[in-house]
Chain A
């Protein structure tokens, strides 16, 4: 029994080492830094990939990453989780509409940063919201993600039609004041969102881990991204957001995330605590 435990511990240590090496390799080869990501999540992704390709050890996987063309990209895609939906957590978008948008209304230009926009569902939701509030024309939405592949998808504004029923529900729950169908047309596979929604959206590759702030924003959305980061990395990214927010700007996090235990909390005020909407006050 003891032997078995020892064996397992040793295996664990080996796996840890291998994972470290793999992540270092990925970083050195691609520039994508996953070394500070949530360890459990990353290792699950790696094991998932190993299971799919029937690879016994991480080292073998690493070999393929190094020597096999395209395999690195494959792995990077595995690493990026792009779960999103339109008007995800409708109550959040409702709160955004009632509690945040009115405070942005008087700005001559509204700069919004959607960090970690994945396939863009929430960016388009934001654009629809702004359109309905009459602010789309003076808003600029910077939609960024570290994964260029999903960014390419996001640029299309084309989403699977099967999900539109639930999006419609979300839209209505989020306080949409038009018919949702005003914004898209469909074929039997996809819903194509009208291009006027895209006119003020700038899609760009940006890595929260390695890249710096690139503008000053009135509103930053970064929902369900930080959960993939280790606490020190979360802290670092919060610093980035703080630096990128204008005074009285808003920071919106995912429903499972919070600013409450971050050192920076004293610089923020909770606007809608339940929806994780914070305002930078100093």
Chain B
């Protein structure tokens, strides 16, 4: 709309002008009215006065003529006639004037004409004749005339005619004056009307103009407020219909908003783009992200990102990413500084823009075809006054200023980012390299370690092999020598053997008999110990301290244990000595479950273990065997099960073997067989120990003894008793999963049958069972042979471990301790005594120090100490101080020092560690642990 610009000032001015013009017009109009009114009035007044004057003049002329005529008549003097003459000419003049004045009034004209007639009449009839008469001196006629007075009638007529003329004239005047008054009134009304109209116009104009101005301004403010409320200048603009300063203001504001919006767009986009590549750690990723972001915002169809690389001092730019197309097809792979326009841009560090590219320029591929780009922009990215990267972007349209501004601004900060990412990549690369190197080092060191270990093993094996070979050689020599002698001795020995065998059997019987007697003899004193110690435990007189009472309790419980051990030995030895009587009789099996339940439920409750007893319906009520032995076996098995079960259950199952299960051999012995099994969910027994546990004094594991106590005789007794009853016990167990002991026992109403048959049935049964009892005799013999060794070695837990170890000469075990010098540092004589005995038993040489000072004295003298056992709490100088001195002053850093600390004191351990202890054991000492630790510290490190 090309409207004429009309400013607020003009609007107001126009308003005022309109009002002023109105005023002027009304003033002029009023003035004209007033002037014409005035004229009319003046004219009226003048007219009136003229009429009056002229009338008077005429009347005066008439009177003058009359008086002059009379004077002449009287005097006869002609001088008196002069006024008459003057008047007779004058009145005509006046009359004419009058007639002119009242020309427009025909009534008056008529009256005037009458007046003239009258006057002329007078003149003709009275005036002139008189004068004629006087001149002619005709006195009579004069007298006659005066007497008749013809003139008088005329003068009177004139007078009255004038009077009526004047009256009409006055009436006329009055009428006209009244008309004038009417006009005057109308004028006054008109004046007020005008005033009102102009006021209205003024009010109209002012309100119109103010509304026009205020509305636009409030429109603008509303829009501005709206924009402000909407939080930005998103699209909305101020619209103004008027063509004034407000429009200018709105335009200026709109422009401001546009600028702001553009700036905001720029900043937002820059911020957005910068955010997208924050945390990007690789330059390719950065380039990709950057290009796609920029392309997104600038309608770019084609883009490539080149990053500066310096190889051998030659600078080139290598493409890191491209947009719209796989990196192989878009743009060249790299370029040198100054090479092409892009190289030039990099060299000059300034932006290049090319518009209107030729049609055969690189084409932008779409799904359907290829389009040539329209504009290409090359932008170097500057950092530290160097173009560290170059971006080229192309579009099918044309970049507007804002898009270019965006690209320009974003690339300003990009240099820093590119540089930092390049730096970071370099750091990462270097770190990765160093990591790879450290890893490689670690790998190599581990490999070396492995290799050296392998070599070590090999050399050890070689050493062992040569050792073995030498030994075998020697043995061979010796053997060949011995062979002859032995073959001679053999025959002699054979004889002796037979004798010895006989003697052995006797001896064994003697031994068992002796044991049986001994057990009896032992029980007597033990009883007194038990009774007395129990009395002490009860502490009736209250004269024992808690500790002493505890001692007594220990004595008592040890006594009880000892008693049960002796009982077991007695049973066993009785069996072995054949001194046990087997009394076969009726056993009521229906009562058995209740009996066992009564016996073991308390134990089960106490240990919180389930105890289940099941009895098959096929089990007969009456069974023939030795009731006492039978129950003893069950009790032992159950006791055993409860002992080794910490949680879960123990169950007793009583079954009758069916006909298929009873073999012919078994049938020969008895038709009725029971299978009674005791199962537990306890620690179980490793397969290789299954045989062992039935042996006297044996348990599956050395550790078991410590944990569960007991003599290990229970199962031996079971086995022996079951033999007596013609029964057998089998074991099925897995370590950690519990064990099942199964007693298979025949019903023998007539006692035991022939030995032969028994053996046969065992052989048959054992073929299927886990334990081969035919080997039992051999095992017993082995045991007997080892017994001598037992006497020398008070700690026998190693039995199991030695079996695990590879077969090396057993001397090694001795070598560990043999002749090793151990220094015991302790202030307690009993401890010293106990340790001395234990260690010397193993062939060690002991030295004793009662406190730290003594210890140091000894060590200064004796430099061949292999290990020190160091108590901590000692008079004069305690263990910590002593160790510190040994380590720091005597510089014996490699000497093993084993600190003996109290178990509860964590502080002790830390302190002894700090003081330089090699290891620590807590008191009270566990011998096995002590020897374990001593082995660790005494074993020759050279072997490794």
Contact = CB atoms under 8 A, between A and B. Distances in A.
B919 A83 contact: no
B809 to A, nearest CB: 10
A212 interface: no
A152 to B, nearest CB: 14
12 contacts: A40-B440, A83-B446, A160-B944, A162-B941, A164-B936, A179-B901, A179-B909, A179-B921, A181-B929, A184-B932, A188-B813, A256-B438
B936 A181 contact: yes
A176 B919 CA distance: 11
Contacts of A40: 440, 443
Interface string A155-189: 00010111111001100100001111110111111
Given A185-B929, A261-B428, A261-B432, A162 B443 contact: no
A179 B929 CA distance: 10
Given A81-B450, A172-B913, A257-B439, A188 B815 contact: yes
Contact of B932 (A48, A191, A227, A228): A191
Contacts of B815: 188
A41 B447 contact: yes
A195 B438 CA distance: 37
A158 B804 contact: yes
Contacts of A168: 918-919, 936
Interface stretch (B333-341, B795-803, B851-859): B795-803
Given A44-B447, A179-B921, A186 B932 contact: yes
Given A187-B802, A227-B440, 6 more contacts: A162-B943, A163-B944, A179-B929, A188-B805, A192-B801, A256-B441
A224 B439 CA distance: 9
A261 B435 contact: yes
A206 interface: no
B442 interface: yes
B813 A41 contact: no
Interface string B382-395: 00000000000000
B325 to A, nearest CB: 27
Contacts of A195: 735-736
Contacts of B933: 179, 181, 186
Interface in B444-461: 444, 446-447, 449-451
Contacts of A165: 896, 918, 936-937, 941
Contacts of B901: 179
Contacts of A82: 450
A134 to B, nearest CB: 14
A160 B943 CA distance: 11
B922 interface: yes
Contacts of A188: 805, 812-813, 815-816, 935, 939
B504 interface: no
A181 B431 CA distance: 42
B647 to A, nearest CB: 12
A161 B816 CA distance: 11
Contact of A181 (B442, B446, B702, B919): B919
Contacts of A164: 936, 939
A82 B443 CA distance: 11
A248 interface: no
B446 A190 contact: no
Nearest to B446: A83
Contacts of B932: 181, 184-186, 191
B931 interface: yes
B801 A258 contact: no
Contacts of B913: 172
B920 interface: yes
A158 B815 CA distance: 21
Contacts of A258: 435
A186 B935 contact: yes
Interface in A192-243: 192, 194-195, 199, 224, 227-228
Interface string B808-850: 1000110110000000000000000000000000000000000
Contacts of B359: none
B442 A185 contact: no
Interface residues of A, number: 46
Contacts of B802: 187
Contacts of A194: 703
The interface residues of chain A, by DSSP majority, are classed as mixed
Contacts of A38: 439-440, 443
Contacts of B801: 185-187, 190, 192
Interface string B410-454: 000000000000000000100110010011111110110111000
B943 A48 contact: no
A177 to B, nearest CB: 6
B442 A224 contact: yes
Contacts of B935: 161, 186-188
A48 B453 CA distance: 14
A119 to B, nearest CB: 11
A261 to B, nearest CB: 6
A146 B835 CA distance: 47
Contacts of B449: 83
Contacts of A254: 442
Nearest to A182: B929
A161 B936 contact: yes
Contact of A45 (B435, B442, B447): B447
Contacts of B435: 256, 258, 261
B703 A199 contact: no
Given A81-B450, A228-B443, A261-B431, A191 B936 contact: yes
Contacts of B432: 261
B550 to A, nearest CB: 25
Contact of A189 (B812, B919, B929, B931): B812
B919 A179 contact: yes
Contacts of A199: 736
B446 A224 contact: yes
Interface string B902-944: 0000100100010000111110000011011101110111011
B442 A256 contact: yes
A20 to B, nearest CB: 20
Nearest to B942: A162
A181 B805 CA distance: 19
Contacts of B797: 185
Nearest to B436: A231
B160 to A, nearest CB: 140
A189 B808 contact: yes
A273 to B, nearest CB: 14
Contacts of A158: 804
B813 A187 contact: yes
A187 B815 CA distance: 11
Given A179-B920, A191-B936, A227 B443 contact: yes
A187 B921 CA distance: 17
A158 B936 CA distance: 13
Closest 9 CB pairs of A and B: A162-B944, A83-B446, A227-B439, A164-B936, A186-B935, A186-B932, A256-B442, A181-B933, A187-B801
Interface string A39-56: 011001100100000000
Given A181-B921, A181-B932, A83 B450 contact: yes
B939 A162 contact: yes
Contacts of A185: 702-703, 797, 801, 928-929, 932
Contacts of B936: 161, 164-165, 168, 181, 186, 191
Contacts of A44: 444, 447
B368 to A, nearest CB: 38
Interface in A41-95: 41, 44-45, 48, 81-83
Contacts of A189: 805-806, 808, 812
A258 B735 CA distance: 42
B683 to A, nearest CB: 9
Contacts of B444: 41, 44
A160 B901 CA distance: 26
A81 B454 CA distance: 11
B142 to A, nearest CB: 163
A199 B444 CA distance: 35
